[in-house]
Amino acid sequence: MKGTSTILVVLALLALVPVLTTSNVVLNFLVTTLLIALVGQGWNLLGGYGGQYSFGHAAFFGTGAYVTAILQMRYGVNAWLGFVLAIAAGALVGAIIGAMSFRSGLRGSYFALVTLAFAEVLRIIASVAPITGAGVGTLIKLDLRPEAFQFQSRVPFYFIALALVAASLIIVRMIEDSRFGAYLVAVRENEDAARALGVDVNAVKLAAMTVSAAITAAAGGFYAQYFLFVDSGIAYGPWISVEALLAPIIGGVGTVFGPLLGALVVKTLGELAKLVTGDAPGLDLVIYGGVLVLVVAFAPRGIAGLIADARRLVRRFHDKATMERGNG
Amino acid sequence: MFTPVILVPAVLNGLMTGAVYALIALGLTLIYGVLHIINFAHGALLTAAMFAAFFAHKLLGFDPYMAAIGLSPLFFLIGYGLQRYVIGPAAHGEDRNILLVTLGLAVVIENALLYAFRADTRTINLPYAFDVVEIGTAFIAVSRVIAFATVIAVALLLWILMRFTRTGKAIRAVAKEKLGAELSGIDVAHIYAVTFGIGTACLAIAACLLLPTYYVNPHAGNAFVLVAFTIVVLGGMGSVAGALLGGLFVGVVESLSGLYLGESLGQIGIFVMFILVLLFRPSGLFGARA
Amino acid sequence: MAEPLLRVENVSKRFGGLLAVDRASFAAERGRITALIGPNGAGKTTLFAMVSGFLAPTEGRIHYDGADITGQPPHKLARRGVARTFQIVQPFAELTVRENIAVGSHLYRPARADALAAAAKVADAVDIGDLLDTAATALTVAARKRLELARALAIEPRLLLLDEVLAGLNPSEVRDMVPVIRAIANQGVTIVMIEHIMQAVMSLAERVFVLSEGRIIAEGSPQEIAADPRVVEAYLGRGAAQRMTAGAANG
């Protein structure tokens, strides 16, 4: 499968980081970046490749986070098993929301609206339901053993995050090179034309949404294990829905590496904002919103698009130079 | 239980709050009907207007009902500028981009307010706001009566604007057939911006009507706009009649259900209704499919 | 004689107060080219939309290959061998010609490499093989029409519905397309074409149905149709046929 070489190179480089530095600050930054990259990978499958823009991906992130936490704390389930079940739960929520929305033919703005609404409903329920700890949230008890999916150092967390992102890169690349991927992109470009060629549009969208939700839920589950605290605002809040779409859009929608590139930019901007103004709530999102508008206005295909444009320019320049040399 | 003495005031109160819902919904449906976009920034803009009205009162001593006279042109200009110089150009006309740009704006506005003013909830103290007026056998708060009368006046003004002025006719032309309007020499970008501005001005007026009896915080606008979205989808995207009637209807339903079922249904109920309406009737009762 | 591959039986379509198609019936014989002509707004594309599953008839039934397919969704019909082109071409804009056609080829080929290879072959058959790596948005009108045709062919249809596939082409482009269409029919594909360009209809179609204001008003060979006064009136207005014969008589 072509393209794997790039993925492997990138992964290898990233894997070297803990060898080069022991700084907790750097590792923490990279772990949270990988986390957002993972969330973005999930969104990108449905939004970038499938063209269905969800404004409520928090629904899957939060489900992943809460299910992981609740299964451990209230039912004594093993942390790793809980993590796997959390992914399944996220996929289920995705399938349900998707089935309802696509059966009703919701597209474009309506789809965005309904996903927003679903995420909000979950947030409100989580903020009052006893099982989630209501307003207080859920704490995962400190238990620094690998069997409990908790580690003393950040390095194992880093490698797990890296592995998850690696898996998502491979999954997306495999989809890109498959019939499902071709159908997904066709649905994005023109649903009626796709139907006329035998594509079951609703089934394709539903499948994309389910996988997308699973990937995002994995990020949520990881978040819970890394930070050991979940509440309704963290799990289902607009911040994660915004970052879920911001990373792929900045990096390049519909590309394999877009979310990773974009996550790096988003996190860097966030850190810069914190440096300038401390931890005042709201400023980071102001910057994210502004960046979103700017990217859409000036670089709608994101960083990946800019790179492709630059390549094309270089090639044209090179061709012209070769031609002139031939004529001269 | 169902005696007129209880029902009539509940219905009247519902009509009054419904009027404000209708005004918010009116802006939203106008923007959809003409620009064919769902304005995700509507809630944030309402919140901004509420903050503006609040500070007009707190810092400049303006009575909110008077402030509406100054704030509506101001917000008209803000809305005009946003559409003309931000949303329009940034989106390059693509639907998916418009979604993202209005979302981006919403995030910026709401969080800028959060950053500037913190999450505290504020209220104003308007002495006469809760005085009552006797209508038939019911006692209705003055603020509610003023709200209802204002919304009727605004609706009438907009109707006159749409029917009899050149701008209004241009708006209707663009809403019906954009290409034809453009070919007839209408500056579509300008009309889009004017419509957006009208929608935002409606929000400013609604904010002033709400301030005497409600609170202000960075998330306040969202609750109302959610109801407005539900109304617009229910009444039909782009249908002015749908927005007005829908607003009044929802106001009455809310009032009656509050009377008989208590406040417990709360926000979840509104969201659930919104989702159900989206799933089962996105074309609404009056409007056309998106 | 074998049952026609497609039989449309008294089909009507009502949109609110508008009766777009009024008890229309026609049939397409296996392996033959059938044309559906008529003035603009007659309801031809609406009929195609119903045959290909994009709209459900208000009344009537549609039979394909002996089975009742009325109301079946488009993707299921595509899998049964019904393909259509769109009057306003609908390319997958951001994809190349090869990728566009491959979406169709994938119907019977799950593997990406197979679908892409098959797509190249179909492109050659329709003579756009040299444009395989061009983005759909960068194509000329004529090339886009061929792409539209190629995509439909990629799903290996038995019934091909061509909706004004020659519209927007200049005369030499039309002359180039006609043999391509005939070649498709020669391979056994049953074709129904909506067309306004009469020279193409005359040279390609074996049977012609005329639709006017939602109703089938005439059917026959192309020569019979050309001489039919009702057809002249449908296009040129009431009394036109008389005026024309009167004019010819007066010299």
Give residue-wise pLDDT tens across range B91-138: 887 888 888 999 999 999 999 999 888 888 888 877 777 777 777 777
Domain-embedded: residue A20: yes
Residue of chain A minimizing CA distance to B223: A120
Strands C190-194 and C159-163: parallel
Please name the chains neighbouring A, where neighbouring means 3+ C-beta pairs under 8 angstroms.
B, C
Is there a contact between C75 and A192 if contact means CB atoms under 8 Å apart? no
- Output the pLDDT for position A132: 86
Name the residue among A182, A193, A201 with its Cβ closest to that of C90: A193
Residue of chain A minimizing CA distance to C105: A197
ipTM score: 0.90
Domain-embedded: residue A231: yes
Does the structure show a pLDDT above 60 at A32? Answer: yes
Residues of chain A found within 8 Å of residue C53, distances taken between Cβ atoms:
195
Which helix (H) or strand (E) segment holds residue A74: the answer is: helix A58-75
* Integer angstrom CA distances of residue B110 from A213, A226, A249: 27, 29, 21
Does the structure show a pLDDT above 80 at A74? Answer: yes
B223: buried, middle or exposed (CB in 10 Å: 19+, 13-18, 0-12)? middle
Domain-embedded: residue A8: yes
* pLDDT tens for each residue of A194-206: 999 999 999 999 9
Name the residue among A55, A124, A282 with its Cβ closest to that of B103: A55
User: Residue B69, Cβ neighbours under 10 Å: how many?
Assistant: 11
Domain-embedded: residue A293: no
Inter-helix orientation angle C97-105/C141-154, to 10°: 20
- The arithmetic mean of pLDDT across residues C166-170, rounded, is 89
Residues of chain C found within 8 Å of residue A201, distances taken between Cβ atoms:
75
- The arithmetic mean of pLDDT across residues A172-185, rounded, is 96
Residue of chain C minimizing CA distance to A174: C112
Is there a contact between A283 and B107 if contact means CB atoms under 8 Å apart? no
> Is C touching A (3+ C-beta pairs, cut-off 8 A)?
yes
- Output the pLDDT for position A148: 86
Counted across chains A and B, CB pairs separated by less than 8 A come out at 121
* Residue type present at position C33: I
């101001």: which residue's tokens? B74
Q: Read out DSSP for A98-137?
A: HHHHHHTT--HHHHHHHHHHHHHHHHHHHHH-GGGTGGG-
Does the structure show a pLDDT above 50 at C150? Answer: yes
A95: helix, strand or coil: helix
Q: How many domains does chain A have?
A: 1
Please name the chains neighbouring B, where neighbouring means 3+ C-beta pairs under 8 angstroms.
A
Dihedral (C-alpha) B25, B36, A191, B282: value to the nearest 10 degrees? 20
Is there a contact between A186 and C103 if contact means CB atoms under 8 Å apart? yes
* pLDDT tens for each residue of C78-88: 999 999 999 99
The CA distance from A251 to C36, in Å, is 50
The CA distance from C61 to C50, in Å, is 10
User: Do A118 and A59 form a contact (C-beta atoms < 8 A)?
Assistant: yes
* C55 to chain A, closest Cα gap in Å: 12
- The arithmetic mean of pLDDT across residues A80-101, rounded, is 96
Whether chain C has a CB inside 8 Å of the CB on A147: the answer is no
Whether chain C has a CB inside 8 Å of the CB on A197: the answer is yes
User: Do C62 and C48 form a contact (C-beta atoms < 8 A)?
Assistant: no
Residue ranges of C 165-194 with Cβ closer than 8 A to chain A: none
* Residue type present at position B106: A
Residue of chain C minimizing CA distance to A193: C90
pLDDT beneath 50, residues of chain B: 264, 285-290
Residue ranges of A 76-105 with Cβ closer than 8 A to chain C: none
Closest CA to A259 of A173, A323, A134, A159: A173
Whether chain A has a CB inside 8 Å of the CB on C86: the answer is yes
The CA distance from C185 to C159, in Å, is 10
- The arithmetic mean of pLDDT across residues C102-108, rounded, is 96
Q: What is the pTM of this model?
A: 0.89
User: Do A99 and A210 form a contact (C-beta atoms < 8 A)?
Assistant: no
The CA distance from A134 to A124, in Å, is 9
Is there a contact between B107 and A238 if contact means CB atoms under 8 Å apart? yes
Name beta bridge partners: C209.
Answer: C36, C219
Radius of gyration of chain B (CA): 19
Whether chain A has a CB inside 8 Å of the CB on B55: the answer is no
Counted across chains A and C, CB pairs separated by less than 8 A come out at 77
* C123 to chain A, closest Cα gap in Å: 16
- Output the pLDDT for position B282: 65
Residue of chain C minimizing CA distance to A199: C75
Whether chain C has a CB inside 8 Å of the CB on A12: the answer is no
* A27 to chain C, closest Cα gap in Å: 38
Question: Which is more confident, B126 or C167?
Answer: C167
**Core vs surface per residue B147-161: b (16+ CB within 10 A) or e:** bbebbeebbeebeee
Q: What phi-psi label fits residue A198: left (phi over 0), alpha (psi between -120 and 50 degrees) or beta? A: left
Name the residue among A178, A192, A194 with its Cβ closest to that of C103: A194
- Output the pLDDT for position B289: 40
User: Do A126 and A66 form a contact (C-beta atoms < 8 A)?
Assistant: yes
Residue ranges of B 151-210 with Cβ closer than 8 A to chain A: none
The CA distance from B161 to B194, in Å, is 12
- Output the pLDDT for position C34: 95
The CA distance from A159 to A142, in Å, is 20
Dihedral (C-alpha) C103, C105, C106, C108: value to the nearest 10 degrees? 150
CATH of the domain at A176: 1.10.3470
* Predicted confidence band of residue A222 (pLDDT cuts 50, 70, 90): very high
Rounded to 5 degrees, φ, ψ at B286 are -115, -25
Whether chain C has a CB inside 8 Å of the CB on A178: the answer is yes
The CA distance from C27 to A170, in Å, is 50
Per-domain residue ranges of chain B: 24-219
Q: In which domain, by residue range, is A147 found?
A: 4-262
The CA distance from C74 to C83, in Å, is 9
- Output the pLDDT for position B243: 87
Contacts 24+ apart (CB under 8 A), C172-177: C173/C142, C174/C199, C174/C200, C176/C127, C177/C142, C177/C145, C177/C146
Is there a contact between A189 and C79 if contact means CB atoms under 8 Å apart? no
User: Residue C44, Cβ neighbours under 10 Å: how many?
Assistant: 26
- Output the pLDDT for position B263: 53
Is there a contact between B111 and A108 if contact means CB atoms under 8 Å apart? no
* Predicted confidence band of residue A244 (pLDDT cuts 50, 70, 90): very high
**Core vs surface per residue A153-178: b (16+ CB within 10 A) or e:** ebbebbbbbbebbbebbbbbbebbbb
Domain-embedded: residue A286: no
* Integer angstrom CA distances of residue C99 from A3, A194, B281, C104, C117: 18, 12, 36, 9, 10
Residues of chain C found within 8 Å of residue A179, distances taken between Cβ atoms:
106, 109-112, 115
Residue ranges of C 60-79 with Cβ closer than 8 A to chain A: 73-75, 78-79
* A68 to chain B, closest Cα gap in Å: 25
* C19 to chain A, closest Cα gap in Å: 24
Looking at A177-257, list the stretches that DSSP marks H as alpha helix, in order from N- to C-terminal side: 179-189, 191-196, 201-227, 232-236, 238-251
